[in-house]
A and B are shown apart, each in its own frame.
Chain A
């Protein structure tokens, strides 16, 4: 029997239901796990995503985009194929896609994390026969430290900068990571400002009902703002740009799972690296595979071969599903 989902040049395709999941080319019908640029691309005729994620998806793809929002757990039938979305815990509105046809169930995780994050709906394990799981950090090298401890480090860095009279520029991807950072820092230390790209996405979070501390867009800050006490949340890539000049004296930090490794921290152009990831680490990945009850696993995006081989040795039918999601330039780690 042919696979329910298979890779085509356009992306992951369900022939029976005639839809694509996170296609990288324009298609007729796209089911989108979340609004990050490497998963949600422009140009498709119709999009289907979670209700929570519809706002940020339109922000990303343009207001004219034809988006059908569905509730988590609400089943749609597309040409006889039952499709439903389930929380993935990655960013606002991120979803796993459950696809059922002829008694066979596949789940595509998209990007996900199982660790707690107050700014998103928690990951819910979904039972399936075949699991297509991301494995960005699928190596035993990656075990996340407790997020609370990392946020304590961020707060300590901010306090040290404040007493040294330096602005604290904390960099993270503008959709998802930035809001998690905003929700996790201690707003009692000083005023929080947001880069405009971050502010736009933060508004979308607030509209979706996520409670976040007060923060001012940098563009709205008065000219005589005292930046020395401030925490500024900005996307990576602002370092070295003229945008930074207003802060005069500052320290920069980058929050990402990649910061778990010393070499990555050393190659970084920022002063500090904090390990805050919105992906699963090695133990969480194995836990998610176990909880899905899947007999077949198709790791994608990351350490695919390593994860597949390990799972095969654990008695599962596992083989890499290679996709060109590869580009990490947007720093979604």
Chain B
């Protein structure tokens, strides 16, 4: 159990993808089959803790032997409850910690809260964190792609089939041997994505779809379930159960292309590559779209192809922002999937926003990744974080400015008072509850600094939303 915790720790500490994979490879190379299977199942399978936060805290409080006020105060001083409980449970009890498989069986199985804590007390304080974290209902934040790559390397099988197996594991919890079965099983693709290039002025085709913000994915329905894959062959999580149900209603052997919103709750489907095992890719787009219509149901959205005279597409592009899209993808109605000419993105003109410099994050030796904000009432609200478009000289200028005028430091970030105004071009944006301004800005670049403007001249959140065609 200590080794598994070390792997979680090494994974978190790893500065790049390669070393994240190495952390798990090291674990799986040294793990017994039973432990490896238990580890994978625990990492990927949904699992609900039987204990409430209150019960866990009380139990640790009883064992810590500290006055109540001291326990509570110390717990507040930790960064999260799992960390606090791990440390306040005291040094390792000296009993031998069980193997991971046995330990997880105790934590997940029928044992009492006392039994679970007796087990955790046998671990080093630093090794308790992942177990407390999950007992408290938290997530460890281990990427399936990293896990899949590590297992694929240890077991010499393909990454895609391992990833598929891991996703299947989230329902059927197979044993470790499932990796091999998954590898031999002729798993249903993701298939090569059709190429998309930027609009070059001609040859784009006569029909179009709106360019929706989000991640381009293929939804692959096979005998076991539906899996969404991004263009770089990472599996993408669908977080809405209604959406997942609609995807599961697809007949096995179906592959659709679509765009999944960043929160994983909304999907627009635009193409059908396979339907119930039948390859549709050689059919013209108009026919594929007709077949697609027959396949999907709410809440999946399948908009009509936009058919317009060339001038009409221009007008549609200009109005795309008002619909929450960020441009058009030009296609040919008579072309097979992936055929030339490639699809072309014809982005709407970027929306220009005047924003104030709020923070800069340290990059390669200088503070060069700025965050810009817009006004929400009299408060500046972080809006976009980008250094795109800034020439070297401007980056140096920002570096010097924030070093000399920092009012607050938070790790690698320096904050300054909202004084410098910049013009930012925003291409892609979507609503988000994670960002304080309510918007996630996905593609933005800095046009220029505006020394001629006062901070008060920067835009407000309301005007920005209006310009992006979003409700205020």
Could you say which of B69, B77, B364 contacts A141, with CB atoms under 8 Å apart? B77
Tell me whether B64 is interfacial, beta carbon within 8 Å: yes
Is the Cβ of A143 less than 8 Å from the Cβ of B365? no
* Minimal Cβ-Cβ distance residue in A for B66: A140
* Minimal Cβ-Cβ distance residue in A for B84: A141
For residue B67, which residues in chain A have a CB less than 8 angstroms away from its CB? 310, 313
Is the Cβ of A145 less than 8 Å from the Cβ of B74? no
For residue B364, which residues in chain A have a CB less than 8 angstroms away from its CB? 240
**Per-position 1/0 for B1-25, Cβ under 8 A of A:** 0000000000011110000000000
Given contacts A263-B83, A271-B15, contact A143 B411 (CB under 8 A): no
Is the Cβ of B365 less than 8 Å from the Cβ of A140? no
Q: Among residues 28 to 81 in chain B, which have CB atoms less than 8 Å away from a CB atom of chain A?
A: 64, 66-67, 69-71, 73-74, 77-80
A242 to B365, CA, bound (A): 7
Tell me whether B125 is interfacial, beta carbon within 8 Å: yes
B81 to chain A, nearest CB (A): 12
Could you say which of B64, B362, B411 contacts A140, with CB atoms under 8 Å apart? B64
* Minimal Cβ-Cβ distance residue in B for A313: B67
* Minimal Cβ-Cβ distance residue in A for B88: A140
For residue A141, which residues in chain B have a CB less than 8 angstroms away from its CB? 74, 77-78, 84, 87-88
For residue B78, which residues in chain A have a CB less than 8 angstroms away from its CB? 141, 261, 263
A240 to B13, CA, bound (A): 18
A172 to B36, CA, bound (A): 37
**Per-position 1/0 for B84-99, Cβ under 8 A of A:** 1001101100000000
Q: How many residues of A contact B (CB 8 A)?
A: 26
A315 to B126, CA, bound (A): 32
Tell me whether B346 is interfacial, beta carbon within 8 Å: no
A262 to B83, CA, bound (A): 7
Is the Cβ of A262 less than 8 Å from the Cβ of B129? yes
Q: Among residues 214 to 241 in chain A, which have CB atoms less than 8 Å away from a CB atom of chain B?
A: 240-241
* Minimal Cβ-Cβ distance residue in A for B412: A269
**Per-position 1/0 for B399-416, Cβ under 8 A of A:** 000000000000110000
For residue A260, which residues in chain B have a CB less than 8 angstroms away from its CB? 87, 126
Given contacts A139-B74, A143-B87, contact A240 B64 (CB under 8 A): no
Tell me whether B149 is interfacial, beta carbon within 8 Å: no
Q: Among residues 146 to 197 in chain B, which have CB atoms less than 8 Å away from a CB atom of chain A?
A: none
Tell me whether A266 is interfacial, beta carbon within 8 Å: yes
Tell me whether B428 is interfacial, beta carbon within 8 Å: no
Tell me whether A46 is interfacial, beta carbon within 8 Å: no
> For B73, B88, B411, which residue has the most chain A Cβ atoms within 10 angstroms?
B73
* Minimal Cβ-Cβ distance residue in A for B129: A262
Is the Cβ of A265 less than 8 Å from the Cβ of B13? yes
A264 to B78, CA, bound (A): 10
Is the Cβ of B365 less than 8 Å from the Cβ of A240? yes
Could you say which of A241, A242, A262, A313 contacts B79, with CB atoms under 8 Å apart? A262
For residue A242, which residues in chain B have a CB less than 8 angstroms away from its CB? 365
* Minimal Cβ-Cβ distance residue in B for A153: B6
A309 to B87, CA, bound (A): 21
B20 to chain A, nearest CB (A): 12
Is the Cβ of A261 less than 8 Å from the Cβ of B64? no
**Per-position 1/0 for A245-257, Cβ under 8 A of B:** 0000001000000
Could you say which of A143, A240, A251, A266 contacts B91, with CB atoms under 8 Å apart? A143
* Minimal Cβ-Cβ distance residue in B for A262: B83
Given contacts A145-B124, A267-B411, contact A306 B83 (CB under 8 A): no
Tell me whether A272 is interfacial, beta carbon within 8 Å: yes
Is the Cβ of A145 less than 8 Å from the Cβ of B126? yes
A260 to B88, CA, bound (A): 13
Given contacts A141-B84, A267-B411, A269-B412, contact A306 B73 (CB under 8 A): yes
Is the Cβ of A269 less than 8 Å from the Cβ of B362? yes
B438 to chain A, nearest CB (A): 26
* Minimal Cβ-Cβ distance residue in B for A242: B365
* Minimal Cβ-Cβ distance residue in B for A264: B79
For residue B412, which residues in chain A have a CB less than 8 angstroms away from its CB? 269
A269 to B69, CA, bound (A): 33
For residue A251, which residues in chain B have a CB less than 8 angstroms away from its CB? 15
For residue A241, which residues in chain B have a CB less than 8 angstroms away from its CB? 365
For residue A306, which residues in chain B have a CB less than 8 angstroms away from its CB? 70, 73-74
A139 to B12, CA, bound (A): 25
A264 to B12, CA, bound (A): 13
Is the Cβ of A140 less than 8 Å from the Cβ of B70? yes
Is the Cβ of B411 less than 8 Å from the Cβ of A269? yes
A163 to B125, CA, bound (A): 30
* Minimal Cβ-Cβ distance residue in A for B64: A140
A168 to B77, CA, bound (A): 31
A309 to B68, CA, bound (A): 12
For residue B129, which residues in chain A have a CB less than 8 angstroms away from its CB? 262
Is the Cβ of A240 less than 8 Å from the Cβ of B362? yes
A242 to B88, CA, bound (A): 41
Is the Cβ of B79 less than 8 Å from the Cβ of A310? no
**Per-position 1/0 for B354-372, Cβ under 8 A of A:** 0000000010110000000
A121 to chain B, nearest CB (A): 27
For residue B64, which residues in chain A have a CB less than 8 angstroms away from its CB? 140
Is the Cβ of A310 less than 8 Å from the Cβ of B83? no
Q: Among residues 91 to 127 in chain B, which have CB atoms less than 8 Å away from a CB atom of chain A?
A: 91, 124-126
A–B complex contacts, Cβ < 8 Å, 24 sampled: A140-B74, A141-B84, A142-B87, A240-B362, A240-B365, A241-B365, A251-B15, A260-B126, A261-B83, A262-B80, A262-B83, A262-B129, A263-B79, A263-B83, A266-B12, A269-B362, A269-B412, A271-B15, A272-B13, A273-B13, A309-B69, A309-B70, A310-B67, A310-B70
> Which residues of A approach B to under 8 Å, CB–CB?
139-143, 145, 240-242, 251, 260-267, 269, 271-273, 306, 309-310, 313
> Which residues of B approach A to under 8 Å, CB–CB?
12-15, 64, 66-67, 69-71, 73-74, 77-80, 83-84, 87-88, 90-91, 124-126, 129, 362, 364-365, 411-412
